[in-house]
Structure 1
Amino acid sequence: MLVSTFAHIQLLKNALARQIDGAFIPPTMTSLSEYIRQLPPDGATATAASERLMSLYADLRQHAWLKKLFSARRNTDLLPLAEILLALSDELTQAMLPSLKASPDAGYARWQAALEQLSPVARNLLSDETQLVWTIWKSQLDASDANVIRYAQMMRLVQQVEHIQQPLFWISPVAPDAMEQAFLDAYGARQALTVLTLDWHAHSVHSTYAAAWPEMLVDEMDSAALSLATPPGLKLHAAQNMEAEARAGAQTVIDWLQQGKTNIAIVAQDRVVARRIRALLERAQIVVADETGWKLSTTRAASAIAAWLELVAARAETVGLLDFLKSPFVFADMADKAELVMVSEIALQRAKVLSGWEAVSDALTAAPAAQKMMTLLAQQAAGFTGRKTLCEWIAATQQMLVTLGMRDALQADAAGAQLLQLLQDVAQDCVQVGHTFSFAEWRAFLNLQLEAKAFVQVNQDKRVVMLPLNGARLRSFDAVLLVGADAEHLPSQPMETLFFANVVRRELGLATRESRQRQQLRDVTELLSANDCVVLSWQAHKNGEPNPVSPWIERLELCLARACLAPLAKHEVQIAPRHLQPTPVLMPAPAAPQLLPQKLSASGYNSLVACPYQFFATRMLGLSGIDDVSDMPEKRDYGDWLHKILAQFHQTLQEAPVPLAERAPLLQQISDRIFAHELDKSAAALGYYARWQKAMPAYLEWIAERESQGWHFVLGEEKFEKLLRWEDGEIVLHGRVDRMDENASGERAVLDYKSTNQGALRDKLRQGEDHQLPFYGLLSGTALSAALYVPLEATRDKIKEVEAPDYEVWQQNLEEQIVRNMQAITHGAPLPATGPEPVCQYCDVRGLCRKGAW
């Protein structure tokens, strides 16, 4: 007894046991593939799929006309084409091999007859494509073709039973293909043969389904003789959106389990919704046995390999590098990995490193352990260059996995173990492939293998299974939930059929769009007929637009309406409410006198004034956000560059006087040097360079005017510290002063550069919330007669400083405020999150204070 799948063997045994109702010796039950494997070896070895693919691809890439014909910009674009050609060759072999064996000339005649179905214009346009398909197919028809070997083995089975009595029962939910039919004809000529398939005559199908979907029948239907009835176990559920469908589906499965159902199926027409249902059920501690699985490429293990390939291709692009290091499979046995990755991220962000192994290594000079880790990565990346055979590429990949500590971690993961086995299988299969391939070709090939391989997790709990529609053939369940019963998923979207129109495929005996949809409609009918409880669900709306139900369901409802029968029942889902105890969320106001910082900067004190909670989180707890690495310079970067330029410029003037006429070339030379370094890293810095070029003449004019008033540069970019004491405590004030000037009377003034205009700085002083200038006055240790903001953006081609009013009084008030606030923190004063919205908008710790939830 030959059945379609192993799952049917146990079902068949159980069915026989129920009929016999006693002990019995079952007949031999197996699948055709397993039956073939029982044959003694005959020396024939099929070419592995990966070997066929890359051998064909290596031949295709030699022909420039192919790339032009299929608009391929690079060689790797031909790899999917090779895959499609091989799949089409296999289809042709399965459909036409029996007739070729009977008459070698029959194949070409059938080919020409099929092409005659096209119009002369279409036949002329597709001549190159059809000739390519014919050539590739004929080249695959050799003794090492898997289908040729399989057909020969099927015929050996027939010869094996020539002189013994061995009747055969062929049980299948679908009609046999051409090769299977040839096998059955030959077997039936020698032995007793019984073919059991589903009967799709009108009298064997539920009358309502036959009336609604007559195209699935094999005979004409007399609609007048049909006695229609509303299917009692079929219900519909139209959800408002994806989440609503998933929640309703999960609750439905839970309800069924609570009712005592132990054999439940989820038919995943919409895989996105099905996976969401699975996640919700697992949250409820209900394990779903997924018989279909999902692509190996979507697993964490495969994403780690994909991240490495992307890292090599992008030459250590920083974001990709950090993502790769954060994979749990990379350096899995390294105890201090998390710390090293954090150190690396901070260092690369501060150095503005975008890519490049050398740049990455240079940025980590102060962190030898992290630098050593990056050096190890760079050494492995160096092995992924040049041209190699597939076996050599796999060897390089295996070496990388061992060196980076990934192999053991992957082996301990179910999907990772399958990935390692895949690499090993490909290495064994492709020993004979002598062609060499580039890194891009190896990467494209490996991605295809990961896409084609399905990962199925082993699960012993079979109460709830997830399967495709065709996986439910010849099976019945206590209850079935089909998700994705909308027009987009039922019927499924037709597969692309390159090279051939459906009319040609029909003549050649290949599957057509109509035959696929017809079989899927039969699968739906079988599902509804074999199960007493079926719920069909879909999303009634998608992206704010109505999402129509499947046309098959609409036709079924229309059939019932015409017969004046009750409509299909609606499936109602009741999710039990949960009563939660409300807990009001209040504004956080921590008190932590023991965390008073030992040092205080101007920006730190501004943070305290802006929002006490922000000061608590950033200065007292030491928390800070890590900026994303970006190739776009920000305004603060521009300010840093101007500080460097002006510091070097004025120090040069201080060391040796430079005439006014020679200052512009000097400033230009320094500016060019600083910006050249930044432009090498990012061309986006060019905009800031042009901005500074416009402001330079105005700045030189402002310097000359200031010197005419008797002021000259004394120091710049210098660090200061000052100990501030009070009765029961002290704190160190610290900061870096942009610039100090002095006049002939010995008076000093502090200047602070700002990369903005004069009007914005006036508003800043008017608001009085920035205490940077008086803070520098407290740091200086000497009396300052004035404090100025210097805008580095000209207004009407002029730069004019903005002087702080009542500077001495401001300093005294600031010192008193600092002492008072520090004393309050020391005595346990709360630090509430009272920052205004403009402060909160750019605050790194807003997620901690949870403003908006209270």
Structure 2
Amino acid sequence: MPPTTPSPVPADAAPQVPRPVDFPLSPATTSAAIWDGVARRAADWLEARGLPARDAVLLLPFAQHLQPARLAWMKLSRWQPRIETTRSLASALGPAALSQPLQLTGDAAIDALAARTLLRGQTWAEALREEDPRAHAAAVERLVEAAHALAASAALRAPDRRAEFWDQGRQLLAAQSGVGHLERALLAVALEWAASDPRAPATDGLFALRPSAWLHLQCGGPDLLADALLASAEAAGIPCLRLSADLPLDEVFAGGAPHGRLEQAVCEDFEDLAQCSAAAVLDHLQAGRVPVALIAQDRVLLRRVRALLERQGLGIKDETGWTLATTAPAAQLMAMLRAARREAGVDDWLAWLKTPLAASLREVGGSGALSALEAKCRQRGWSSPLAVRVERLPAASARVWERAQQALAPLQHRGAQPLERWLRTLKEVLEQLGADEQLKRQPAGGPQVLDTLWLSKSPWPGSAHEAVLQDAQLSASEFVAWVSDTLEAGQYQPPLEGGLQVMITPLARTLLRPFGAVVLPGADAATLGPVPPGPVLIGDRLARELGLPTVEDKRQALAWQFAQLMRAPALTLLRRGHLGSEPLAASPLLDRLDLALQAGGHGSLPHWTDPRVDESVPAAHAGRASACAEGRLPSAMSASAVESLRQCPYQFFARVLLGLRESSELEVQADKRDYGTWLHAVLHQFHDERVRGVDPELGDDARLERASQDQMRELGLSPAEFLPYSASFARFAPAYLAWLAEREAEGERFAQGEVERRVRPWVGIEPALEDLVLLGRLDRVDAAADGRVLIDYKTGSVKGLKDKVADPLEDTQLTVYAVLMGAGDAVAPDARSAHPMTLPSESDAAVNSLSREAGEGRGEGGSSRTSRSPMLRAQYLALDDSKGIAAIEHEDVATTATIMLDGLRADLMAIHAGDPLPALGEGLACEYCEMRGLCRRDDWEGAAP
């Protein structure tokens, strides 16, 4: 016979309290005037029953209501009752009991660590942690969320009905069946965890009080704790009075027309909505409606509105506060912890070194040391700290880098250790750097960050916080995640500067507060209407049966709160009509309000009059950008500089003459560029060792493999992240060695790699250009029977390289490299046969030796004026094409070099003479040019949008 499914115990019956005294909407019950009515009716009720007011208690919904209520009682010149909220009264009765080890603390970050300990003994939880750590972390988060919700709901019950609540939860959980075994297991743990707490909530002391009468003002929907308290008092014979200020939204205007200013507006987009919101606030202030409540529905929008209002020097108070993690001190601390991770990149280190917490390290290097360090890392592409070569850094930058690594070394502990030890280490690192004082001096949350992370305070002995700090074992990454979660849970409220004019507050806190006006931006279906979901483990049906707030309960509470805005002297509702390209409907609450107006015969919602002043600004299209550099020429040009001049003169002006550069990103993840840099270095080491006869017993394949490993370490590349490129190299190596064998069989030999060359092409030819140097680094020069072969490594496709040399005059790189090797004639009427002059460099001896082997006659000092260069060929060598290694020849590169020198000389002389350098705005060179913003390409008249 199947087991009988237990019937769910019905939810708590509604407490039997007297029918409330209502305060319908009227000029006498506005937010400012309602407190006089509350005080008068409560005083009359107490007097009529002969109850001493000084022994009575009046409970209010929020702490913000205490001051206006007390001021209203003072006007009556009568004894005041004790005016409190349930929370403030419970706090006045005595401190809450400290949570003991493994008991709920209400601190999500601390309770998450305690939940991990609770689950450690569960077989299914351990299996989940081993199989999917992320799913285990999510399960812990959901467990804490559900336990907090259940504990909060239980605290709203009368003490004698709390056991019934836990039994009801167990019965409902046992009755569930079907899928979701993990969810039910987690919910069972959450239920028992919350139920096992022997501490009575602080509010239980309210049920033992025996005042002469209980008075309760309800606003914003039912208050379960106050209702339970009044029901218990009624049963004990204590007189109770409930006053209700709730307004039914659908009937809010049944008693008459709106007494205040009510208006709405539909804005075009996000920026228009922000500007209209700021304009509405300023309009109310100019009309004398002070203070103005600005409802916080969309935090991103509110940040923009606040920025607009702060420009006007207004006194703004933000009751919603900011997440502590978004404050500057918290961001600086997280930057330091991210840099301390073993997987951190150089970008992470530079981000931390720029913060105030690293000020003492910057002082070690002096002014400019950090900038030089960053420039060197970006120039070299050092994305990983392992790739940074201290010996190649300037002395001051090297000191900064070494001291920074020493400072964070204690935070790079391998393995897990107690949270308390992590915090102690963090505190010591901050003290060593002087960063703790830096945090204390930052008023925008610095002391609060130290306090929240237990760096400036200690937990009570024997408390749950102390137990978690001592027992929780965290790895380095888990510790950083815990700090981040703790800062996310913290709140920071900036202090008010000047007199209060604007109050940023959530909708729930506007109830019955005497604001001069209310502005609600975001009255659309996407912002005003959706309610936050409940705990993931507690579905809506189970929440209803347990008496927890359901989605429908939250929607009704939102409607109660929205209806209270009708008590304000002025209400401005603003929303967007579109979200991107999609139309955005008004909030359902706005529709209900409009229907309530029409049902009362008061028409539709009036439209807001925009107070902004329209000003017509004539469109001013920008012409094609152009620059003039008369008499100004660069002292040196590389192949890329020559390419810029040929592609776009204005690009040349910005890049070369102005020296503007876009900072390259330091990506930790290896990419194609890293592969190309590494492969160039591998091939250079391989050929250099072969030429010098290093370890002659090594075969070519072993030598190439050793070079690959050496350069991976030299460049600080992670073998795991470089794995895809290592696999490509495994296919490349035998193909390259086979190609190399063919070349050497044809009589070509590697002569030199990474050859740095500098030449002055127009010495004795053009006085204005005599000092201009062409320079570059050549990947490789081979010696052949008929001369020299200039080779440039490429990791692009063969097709792309063939397209590049299809028209030799369009290929700048190999042409310039050929000039660097002595090819090409500078055209001048009196020096037709003159050759470029080679400047002395480290590679001169080797190149001259190579030239002699190829039969070239050269003069003293590298000057090639006595004879013409031997035959020079130039090739691109495609290294990673799927079809194998391929050499793409630039035909007759010497002729191309002569023509290029002609054209380059003419262009440079034109610049010297003052000819304009226009922006061409054509082709791919313009599409991907980083100077596009400087020449305003998109603003040119007739430019495509």
Q: Write the distance in 2 (CA, Å) between the matches of 1:832 and 1:119.
A: 76
Matches within 5 A, 1:544-563: 544-558=581-595
Give how far 1:498 is off. 4.3
Matches within 5 A, 1:96-175: 96-100=157-161, 106=164, 110-111=168-169, 128=185, 131-142=188-199, 147=201, 149-152=202-205, 154-155=206-207, 158=209, 169-173=215-219
Corresponding residue for residue 307 of structure 1: 335
User: Structure 2: which 5+ residue stretches go unaligned?
Assistant: 1-57, 823-835, 839-862, 941-945
What is the aligned length?
Answer: 804
Q: Per-residue CA shift, 1:821-851, capped at 9, x if unaligned?
A: 5555556555444474333334343333333
Corresponding residue for residue 521 of structure 2: 483
Q: Write the distance in 2 (CA, Å) between the matches of 1:655 and 1:115.
A: 79
The answer to whether the Cα contact below 8 Å between 1:240 and 1:541 also exists between their aligned partners in 2 is yes
Query: Of 710, 721, 725, which aligns to 1:685?
Result: 725
Corresponding residue for residue 6 of structure 2: none
The answer to whether the Cα contact below 8 Å between 1:230 and 1:568 also exists between their aligned partners in 2 is no
Tell me, yes or no, if structure 1 residue 251 matches structure 2 residue 286: no
Q: TM-score, normalised by structure 2?
A: 0.74
Three-state SS of the structure 1 residue aligned to 2:775 is strand
Query: Of 401, 417, 425, which aligns to 2:447?
Result: 417
Tell me, yes or no, if structure 1 residue 774 matches structure 2 residue 819: yes
Matches within 5 A, 1:175-190: 177=223, 179-181=225-227, 183-184=229-230
Query: Of 756, 776, 781, which aligns to 1:735?
Result: 776
Q: Write the distance in 2 (CA, Å) between the matches of 1:129 and 1:379.
A: 39
Three-state SS of the structure 2 residue aligned to 1:569 is coil
Give how far 1:32 is off. 4.3
Q: Write the distance in 1 (CA, Å) between the matches of 2:575 and 2:188.
A: 44
Corresponding residue for residue 803 of structure 2: 760
Q: Per-residue CA shift, 1:257-300, capped at 9, x if unaligned?
A: 22232221112233332333222322444453211113222333
Letter of the aligned partner of 1:759 in structure 2? K
Corresponding residue for residue 937 of structure 2: 851
Letter of the aligned partner of 2:704 in structure 1? S
Q: Write the distance in 1 (CA, Å) between the matches of 2:126 and 2:307.
A: 44
Corresponding residue for residue 235 of structure 1: 263
Give how far 1:784 is off. 1.5
In structure 2, the CA distance between the partners of 1:342 and 1:189, relative to structure 1 (3 Å rule), is same
Corresponding residue for residue 789 of structure 1: 874
In structure 2, the CA distance between the partners of 1:561 and 1:170, relative to structure 1 (3 Å rule), is closer
Give how far 1:58 is off. 1.9
Matches within 5 A, 1:505-524: 505-524=543-562
In structure 2, the CA distance between the partners of 1:133 and 1:621, relative to structure 1 (3 Å rule), is closer
Among all aligned residue pairs of Structure 1 and Structure 2, give the percentage whose two residues are the same amino acid.
Answer: 23
Corresponding residue for residue 218 of structure 1: none
Corresponding residue for residue 892 of structure 2: 805
Letter of the aligned partner of 1:776 in structure 2? M
Give how far 1:129 is off. 5.4
Q: Write the distance in 1 (CA, Å) between the matches of 2:333 and 2:514.
A: 40
Q: Write the distance in 2 (CA, Å) between the matches of 1:594 and 1:288.
A: 56
Matches within 5 A, 1:695-774: 696=736, 699-700=739-740, 703-704=743-744, 706-707=746-747, 715-723=752-760, 724-725=762-763, 726-727=766-767, 730-740=771-781, 748-749=787-788, 751-755=790-794, 757=798, 759-767=802-810, 769-770=812-813, 771-772=815-816, 773-774=818-819
Query: Of 474, 482, 500, which aligns to 1:438?
Result: 474
The answer to whether the Cα contact below 8 Å between 2:543 and 2:550 also exists between their aligned partners in 1 is yes
Query: Of 497, 511, 514, which aligns to 1:473?
Result: 511
Corresponding residue for residue 49 of structure 2: none
Letter of the aligned partner of 1:399 in structure 2? E
Corresponding residue for residue 123 of structure 2: 64
Corresponding residue for residue 543 of structure 1: 580
Corresponding residue for residue 454 of structure 1: 491
Tell me, yes or no, if structure 1 residue 605 matches structure 2 residue 646: no
Q: What CA RMSD, in Å, does the superposition of the two structures yield over aligned residues?
A: 4.4
Query: Of 10, 16, 32, which aligns to 2:67?
Result: 10
In structure 2, the CA distance between the partners of 1:231 and 1:785, relative to structure 1 (3 Å rule), is farther
In structure 2, the CA distance between the partners of 1:804 and 1:392, relative to structure 1 (3 Å rule), is same
Give how far 1:749 is off. 3.6
Query: Of 302, 305, 312, which aligns to 1:274?
Result: 302
Give how far 1:779 is off. 5.2
Query: Of 133, 158, 166, which aligns to 1:73?
Result: 133
Query: Of 197, 202, 226, which aligns to 2:243?
Result: 197
Give how far 1:454 is off. 1.9
Corresponding residue for residue 320 of structure 1: 348
Give how far 1:775 is off. 4.1
User: Structure 1: which 5+ residue stretches go unaligned?
Assistant: 213-225
Q: Write the distance in 2 (CA, Å) between the matches of 1:185 and 1:558.
A: 37
- Which moves more between the two structures, 771-780 or 48-57? 48-57
Q: Write the distance in 1 (CA, Å) between the matches of 2:177 and 2:750.
A: 88
In structure 2, the CA distance between the partners of 1:646 and 1:525, relative to structure 1 (3 Å rule), is closer
Q: Write the distance in 2 (CA, Å) between the matches of 1:60 and 1:119.
A: 22
Corresponding residue for residue 671 of structure 1: 704
Q: Write the distance in 1 (CA, Å) between the matches of 2:927 and 2:536.
A: 53
Q: Write the distance in 2 (CA, Å) between the matches of 1:122 and 1:805.
A: 76
The answer to whether the Cα contact below 8 Å between 1:289 and 1:461 also exists between their aligned partners in 2 is no
Three-state SS of the structure 2 residue aligned to 1:265 is strand
Three-state SS of the structure 2 residue aligned to 1:787 is strand
Give how far 1:384 is off. 7.5
Q: Write the distance in 2 (CA, Å) between the matches of 1:499 and 1:613.
A: 62
- Which moves more between the two structures, 571-580 or 262-271? 571-580
The answer to whether the Cα contact below 8 Å between 1:292 and 1:466 also exists between their aligned partners in 2 is yes
Give how far 1:420 is off. 1.6
Give how far 1:256 is off. 1.9
The answer to whether the Cα contact below 8 Å between 1:281 and 1:287 also exists between their aligned partners in 2 is no
Give how far 1:765 is off. 1.0
Q: Per-residue CA shift, 1:303-342, capped at 9, x if unaligned?
A: 3333344444453233433333344544378346884443
Q: Write the distance in 2 (CA, Å) between the matches of 1:491 and 1:60.
A: 37
Corresponding residue for residue 320 of structure 2: 292
Give how far 1:388 is off. 0.8
Q: Write the distance in 2 (CA, Å) between the matches of 1:687 and 1:358.
A: 22
Q: Write the distance in 2 (CA, Å) between the matches of 1:386 and 1:712.
A: 56
Letter of the aligned partner of 1:436 in structure 2? A
Query: Of 590, 606, 611, which aligns to 1:569?
Result: 606
Q: Per-residue CA shift, 1:15-71, capped at 9, x if unaligned?
A: 446x55xx88976644444444444x6895455544666444422333232466899
Three-state SS of the structure 2 residue aligned to 1:274 is helix
Q: Write the distance in 2 (CA, Å) between the matches of 1:445 and 1:489.
A: 31
Corresponding residue for residue 370 of structure 1: 400
Q: Write the distance in 2 (CA, Å) between the matches of 1:657 and 1:414.
A: 61
